[in-house]
Structure 1
Amino acid sequence: MDVPLEQLRAEIPQNPEWGVKKNSEGKNVFWYGYKAHLAVGTKSQYILQSLISSGNLNDGKAAIPLLKGIQERVPLSTIRYNTLDAGYDYEAIYTQIHRMGLQSVIAYNKRNEPEPEGFDKHFAPTCFREHSYRYDSFDPKYETLKYTRPKECKDCPLANEGLCQKIYKVKITTDLRKYTAPARGSKAWKTIFKQRTAVERVNAYLKLYFQLNNVRYRTGKRAKVHFDLVTLVYNASKLAADRINAMINQQLAA
């Protein structure tokens, strides 16, 4: 995380190698060549940062160069969250996102970890009868999640005797991987996480309409030039289409 962006990018391997990834059916798909890594705006679907690597590079290792690239080269004030799948569930990635002043919405990869005592699978606190507290809100000033007493505890004698807390608060910095804002398992968290599919749509566009699947160079330098041109043309085409649509909408409104 403390290595400069240019040094990180210079050390990314770009020679063709065997890569493997699970498809939608959970089966391994193998290929020989390169791997594209993209950071995409979920609403705009513009490519904010991109890099190409050897096919065997773990996705998680490409995340911090992409994140640092956004921070240093595309400092957009509209970015609030970074949403990624379970392949990026590494503590360093959460820390990098937190350093950028943003929030992480990343699928949790259990990795044979024991079940936490006093908490549910989403790390929300539970009462004596193991009912989960409900996520209420996030205080950005103090970086604190607020949970309220479970509805099942309304008529519980333990609650009436003061044995159950009415409100539970926890700072996300206690464990950035477990405590996210909005809280894991909440409706708000799920809504943001669903937007992650934007990067998959852009990947599909690049493969189908921009021939990104046909990068067959033997050297990484030529493959990188091809890849950079593809991402440039995609963004330029997207910008042109957006401007044309905006002009048409203005004419219709007039």
Structure 2
Amino acid sequence: MTIIRQGSLFDLQDLYDLQPTHRFEAVFSTIEIDPILAVVSKKALYGAPVQLNYAAMIYSLTARILERIPTIKDLIKRLKNDYMFRLDCGFLLSDAIPSEASYSRMLTKLADSDILERVQETQILQAILEGFITDDTVAIDATHIEARDQAPAKEEKPKTDPKKRGRKSKEEQEKWLQEKAEREAALPLYEKKIEAQLDSSLAELRSAVPLDPKWGIKKNSEGKNVFWFGYKGHFAVGTKSQYILQSLFSSGNLNDGKAAIPLLKGIKDGLSILPISFSTLDAGYDYPAIYEQIYRLGAQSIIAYNKKNESELEGFDQHFAPTCVREHSYRYDSYDSTYETLKYTQPKECKDCPLAQDTLCQKVYKVKITTNLRRYTAPARGSKAWKTIYKQRSAVERVIAYLKEFFQLNNVRFRTGKRAKVHFDLTQLVYNGAKLACDRIAKSISKKDRLQAA
């Protein structure tokens, strides 16, 4: 059974079937290690002499994820007892095996830097340049990640004084509105409304993400609320290549929708060479600000509509297609990108309708998507083309499942959110590295087959 089902000659399962030495070499070659070494290596000439092989330590952390070694303690034990594994990670027989404290100091340096994010971006750009990522559709979703620490008791909300009944005076209403505006302005960026993110830079959005483990809530398959204590991982995945293009790590209580704009801005700023035409998300991301950000990206929104107790519009169906006098829905015909206009044609039922020639029923109906980005998308909601693109959203769900089952995404062993984020970043670095290694091997095999056939 393959891990990622693609029509290539080589997949992740084949990678795991290789000898460990070849498997490690293939994945390690996709990681640019020099920038990481510049961060973690000792820079001062003073103090105790350097006796640690920092490059091998970094490779051993990635090998830990590949080999599904649960803890750093188990990793050290494996390095001591398995000489081949030790050599595969880059340690010499004369090198001292690092202690848990040494790994801890390295993780602290990585946690205080954004170097892993920058190396991931370089890795993705390399995959694009080599022609392995050609996606025009990106899918976004989030998943819960449980913390290992015991969850604290839920805090009870303090009881507030009962509201004074009756209508406020004009002065009281103005004072209340002013105080409310001041409170909202003083809130942290991720506690404000999503619209506040539109004019914030990517650096501001990245630096303001809450990382501490918190109580989160989600619905299970039965529709019941389930609580967990920990974090959330947010991913933007290429639906065809299944590479992780962007990610965000946050506290467990962060609303999924508030992570979408940072992911989209990350694609715009860091992966502008990738021609993204569509962004597909589920109904949890149905916010006007997200539609606006996707529009600014130059792409189209394929997002499930959440009615939110809204009443249906008269003269339109549930997908906002216009209806004729007899309430038959117009058919989506095409989209004019020059004028950003959707074109609808008369329903089939109007062919034999006595009102077909009447001025009440027009043959063609056009609407600009900028009239309401949330209602009007290209292709139009409810059309076959829209449904086909929306189905590609399952790619991000598969990638999350692979990360949890095969790459230890859910195996967070650190107490602080900053260190947990290091594990989160390493997980993606190894996953994308394994994908890139597989694509390179598949390309090499295909080239050899063509040469033999010739």
Q: What interval of TM-score do these two structures reach, taking the shorter chain for normalisation?
A: over 0.9
Matched, 1:166 2:356: no
SS in 2 for 1:213: coil
Go from structure 1 to structure 2 and tell me whether the alpha carbon gap of 1:24 and 1:246 turns closer, same or farther (over 3 Å shift): farther
Q: After TM superposition, give the deviation of residue 27 of structure 1 in Å.
A: 2.8
2:64 — aligned with what? none
Q: How does 1:226-237 map to 2 (within 5 A)?
A: 226-237=423-434
Code of the residue aligned with 1:161 in structure 2: it is D
Matched, 1:185 2:382: yes
Matched, 1:47 2:244: yes
Matched, 1:130 2:327: yes
1:10 — aligned with what? 207
Code of the residue aligned with 1:33 in structure 2: it is G
Which consecutive unaligned segments of at least 5 residues does structure 2 have? 1-197
Q: Mean alpha-carbon deviation: is it higher for 44-53 or for 23-32?
A: 23-32
1:70-125 CA deviation, whole Å, 9 max, x = no partner? 00011134311000000000000000000111100000000000011000000000
1:179-221 CA deviation, whole Å, 9 max, x = no partner? 0000000000000000001100010011001111111422111
Code of the residue aligned with 1:251 in structure 2: it is K
Code of the residue aligned with 1:197 in structure 2: it is S
Matched, 1:22 2:211: no
Higher relative contact order (CA 8 A, sep 6+): 2
Q: 2:314 aligns with which of 92, 95, 117?
A: 117
1:192-251 CA deviation, whole Å, 9 max, x = no partner? 000001100010011001111111422111011111111111101100011111222222
Larger Rg: 2
Whether contact under 8 Å (1:86, 1:108) holds in the other structure is yes
Q: 1:210 aligns with which of 400, 407, 412?
A: 407
**How high is the sequence identity, in percent, across the aligned residues?**
73
1:114-168 CA deviation, whole Å, 9 max, x = no partner? 0110000000000000000000000000000000000000011111233201000
Code of the residue aligned with 2:211 in structure 1: it is Q
SS in 1 for 2:396: helix
Q: 1:94 aligns with which of 271, 291, 315?
A: 291
SS in 1 for 2:410: helix
2:66 — aligned with what? none
**Aligned equivalents of 1:27 and 1:242: distance in 2?**
41
Q: TM-score under structure 1 normalisation?
A: 0.97
1:146 — aligned with what? 343
**Aligned equivalents of 1:76 and 1:97: distance in 2?**
16
Q: TM-score under structure 2 normalisation?
A: 0.55
SS in 2 for 1:170: strand
Whether contact under 8 Å (1:33, 1:216) holds in the other structure is no
SS in 1 for 2:356: helix
Q: After TM superposition, give the deviation of residue 30 of structure 1 in Å.
A: 2.2
SS in 1 for 2:367: strand
Code of the residue aligned with 2:449 in structure 1: it is L
Q: State how many pairs are aligned.
A: 254
Q: Mean alpha-carbon deviation: is it higher for 127-136 or for 69-78?
A: 69-78
Which consecutive unaligned segments of at least 5 residues does structure 1 have? none
Code of the residue aligned with 1:64 in structure 2: it is I
Where is the helix percentage greater, Structure 1 or Structure 2?
Answer: 2
Q: After TM superposition, give the deviation of residue 50 of structure 1 in Å.
A: 0.5
**Aligned equivalents of 1:19 and 1:171: distance in 2?**
39
Q: 1:219 aligns with which of 403, 416, 432?
A: 416
Where is the strand percentage greater, Structure 1 or Structure 2?
Answer: 1
